[in-house]
Structure 1
Amino acid sequence: MISIIVYSFIIHSHKIPAFRSFFAFNTMALLGLGSILMTYFGVNYYLSGLHSYAGGNPVPVPAMLYITVAALLILVFYARVKTKKG
């Protein structure tokens, strides 16, 4: 359900004047991909609860995940700066 809501917002965002640029669409597409990965890996494996298939303690979040998120944020901000200049 969350994935459908996220991607329906991305698909219909062209109707909102602030989100009509290619930069906004590409950034939302990256966030959409991140939400899909979170709903698959995060809910099923990293969070312990009703949706978790692994019983017991939750699996620790890998450090590479934080590095990847930081690198994507830096890339988005760099693209924004380059978009504003050009």
Structure 2
Amino acid sequence: NESWGRYWGWDPKETWALISIMAYAFVIHMRLVPGLRGRFAYNLASVIAIAFIIFTYFGVNFYLSGLHSYQSGQKIDSLKSISVAVGLLILIAVLAYRKYKQYYKK
């Protein structure tokens, strides 16, 4: 409170940092839930969590505005970029699951 004058302000950088921490907390705690202990689920959740980290950097710095935004680059076309990224993530997940079922699942 003394340095910024507030405790929490819902700034995009603060919010996405919290989302990233919660995503990795979920990944770590997946090992404690019996239904989520599988290798594939853990690896997929890790890839999704790193996508949150990437969005925390690029999305907040180049698209969202706030106290901690450093918009030194050109703004990105957000809907197109996010759609392509989510589509690639889903495609990779489906292909990885097919290979996982083919080689590892008995």
| Coarse TM-score class (shorter-chain normalised) | 0.7 to 0.9
> TM-score scaled by structure 2?
0.63
Which of 74, 87, 97 is the aligned partner of 1:70?
Answer: 87
- Which residue does 1:31 correspond to in 2? 48
Aligned residue in 1 for 2:69 = 52
Whose radius of gyration is greater, 1 or 2? 2
CA distance in structure 1 between the aligned counterparts of 2:81 and 2:71, rounded to whole angstroms: 21
Structure 1 partner of 2:20: 3
Q: CA deviation at 1:64?
A: 5.7
| C-alpha separation in 1, matches of 2:46 and 2:88 | 16
For residues 72 and 37 of structure 1, what CA distance do their matches in structure 2 show?
13
What is the deviation of 1:31? 0.6
Tell me by how many angstroms 1:22 deviates.
0.8
Query: Which of the pair has the greater relative contact order for Cα pairs under 8 Å at 6+ separation?
Result: 2
The one of 45, 58, 79 aligned to 1:41: 58
CA contact (8 A) 2:60 2:69 kept: yes
- What is the letter of the counterpart of residue 75 of structure 1? I
Higher helix residue share: 1
- Give the Å deviation of 1:47: 1.4
> What are structure 2's unaligned runs of at least 5 residues?
1-17
For residues 61-80 of structure 1, the C-alpha deviation after alignment (integer angstroms, 9 at most, x for no partner) is 37565434322211111222
Question: Over aligned residue pairs, what C-alpha RMSD do you find?
Answer: 2.5
**What TM-score do the two structures reach when normalised by structure 1?**
0.74
State the 1:50 CA deviation. 4.1
Looking at structure 1, the residues matched to 52 and 98 of structure 2 have their Cα atoms a distance apart, in angstroms, of 25
Give 1:38 deviation, angstroms: 0.9
